[in-house]
Chain A
């Protein structure tokens, strides 16, 4: 349905021209089609109604990305989501370590299989969790933003993270040579107007645009119920480190272990969100909310022990050594879910259970969606208001920004405020340093063997 929307002031024409004839309805549905952009449902939208629209976009994107995948990564449209657990669409996307390779080597083709470290090759095939060769720091993939610390589950194991990008974003990086430091330098030097600009999802052009996914996984132990999670057989790899200045001395290891999904960021650049749409999901059993009285915290939780008196939201003491069992983290959610988000979660979880009452996907919940409430039309960014007034002001995933939850400006997690600081390796000018809200480009290494590590 086409719907006219009118707005005034700086928000004005922002979303108008891009979102009014979506091909994917905002009505809760189970569809393998990734939405092109948000669908504005109200004729006179409010902050609350737009939040609802973006939360709907988050859920529909979550469903499409977690749709059962064919061997080629495309959604298996003949199978509904959650009939049984299996490989998902986003899991066929390219992981960061396959893009930003040692010595700035070009990535292998999109459909090439992932390269495995020697220590993993003799094991049962699985999804590699822990990057290799990219940087010498063994803690790279499980410390959190600003080196705030790893997250430890109730079994004493570190949570593992990964970042993947879709074909559109992969092609932009490869076609423009952004996967190496020298490639970035050449990209900016060869044309004085070149700037990093990933593709925007657009209902007008029927283009999905650029997407990134950051996932957090926990190793499933004896006390975990695998049937409650989306699971994969993983190769949990820990690169060796012999340099004490870069972290604890750790021997290289690789274990074949089942892991369960506990957190999922979905980041989507669209015509109405040049600052990207930041959706974040978690397993419903991750943590209690801080505002829930302790006596009402109905565990067991994956990252909180109702019987523990430990201080909450404190990172484990250093050294952070993934090879050694650690004291479980005691985590609570600082900002509770809104009632509207809880209601929407219940709607989608019920819908998922219509396919399968035991659907693993009904065990996940949207925490919230951060979106620009003062966007420019056509995927542009205002120089005077580059973040476009993020709404809500703060957003954190308890498994991915565990220790920077809260509401302190510049200190607490805000997706856009943080990623607006991302830069390329070419910091000569704002044009060349702008990385379009992704820290991935800082992972590029030099063809001479030099590299700089950043993890956000």
Chain B
């Protein structure tokens, strides 16, 4: 049986399209996955999180494709689902992309639409920057003069080939 952390990383991969190996590398000097899981648990509530992770685990266990799992978690037919699990999943998606937690609904003292930057490393390592083949505002690890050259490919940044991504460059 997979742990909550493994299911959280698997679910996150399905939601973002980024591989689990990149979201949670074996050698991970930053350690965002456990930080994120701990951060969101009281905010989505343990019950909703358990339901969401169980839903993911069952679908993955049935060998559903990532797209099928994402559809099941996020959608109600052709419309976005209005369930707490779907809302939590959308916030998890944004969390990985931006490093910001968007509170999806009221939960204990956490009020809907509150926004929190989870940590400096969460912001720096947001996947939106890599998807844009760029770097976060105020932080760059590129060498001097990088701005004058073509950025590395989308695949280099994210592991996702650019050929199927509108607007991306390879």
Binding site for B on A (CB under 8 A): 7-11, 45-47, 50, 373-374, 382-387, 389-393, 408-410, 417, 420-421, 423, 427, 429-430, 433-434
Contact yes or no, A430 B27, CB < 8 A: no
Distance in angstroms between the alpha carbons of A305 and B29 in the assembled complex: 35
Contact yes or no, B29 A9, CB < 8 A: no
Contact yes or no, B29 A47, CB < 8 A: yes
Contacts of A421 in B (CB 8 A): 143-144
Q: Which of A11, A373, A385, A408 is the one whose CB lies under 8 Å from B141?
A: A385
Contacts of A420 in B (CB 8 A): 141, 143
Besides the known contacts A9-B22, A430-B145, A433-B144, 6 further A-B residue pairs in the complex with CB atoms under 8 A apart:
A9-B19, A11-B25, A385-B141, A386-B141, A420-B143, A430-B144
Contact yes or no, A409 B120, CB < 8 A: yes
Chain B nearest Cβ from A439, distance in angstroms: 12
Contact yes or no, B149 A430, CB < 8 A: yes
Contact yes or no, B149 A9, CB < 8 A: no
Distance in angstroms between the alpha carbons of A307 and B145 in the assembled complex: 49
Chain A contact surface mostly: loop
Which residue on chain A has the smallest CB distance to residue B123? Answer: A409
Contact yes or no, B156 A383, CB < 8 A: yes
Distance in angstroms between the alpha carbons of A362 and B28 in the assembled complex: 32
Q: Which of B29, B144, B146 is the one whose CB lies under 8 Å from A391?
A: B29
Chain B contact surface mostly: loop
Contact yes or no, B29 A434, CB < 8 A: no
Any A CB within 8 A of the CB of B106: no
Binding site for A on B (CB under 8 A): 19, 21-22, 25-30, 120-121, 124, 130, 138-139, 141-146, 148-149, 152-153, 156-157, 159
Which residue on chain B has the smallest CB distance to residue A6? Answer: B26
Distance in angstroms between the alpha carbons of A386 and B143 in the assembled complex: 8
Chain B nearest Cβ from A103, distance in angstroms: 26
Contact yes or no, B25 A384, CB < 8 A: no
Contact yes or no, A409 B124, CB < 8 A: yes
With A45-B27, A47-B28 as contacts: A9 and B145 at CB distance below 8 Å = no
CB pairs A–B below 8 angstroms (13 shown) = A46-B26, A47-B28, A50-B27, A374-B25, A383-B156, A386-B143, A392-B29, A409-B124, A409-B139, A427-B144, A430-B146, A430-B148, A433-B144
Contact yes or no, A433 B145, CB < 8 A: yes
- For the complex of A and B, 8 pairs with smallest distance between CB atoms: A9-B21, A391-B29, A384-B152, A384-B156, A430-B145, A383-B152, A433-B144, A387-B141
Contacts of B25 in A (CB 8 A): 9-11, 374
Distance in angstroms between the alpha carbons of A433 and B149 in the assembled complex: 13
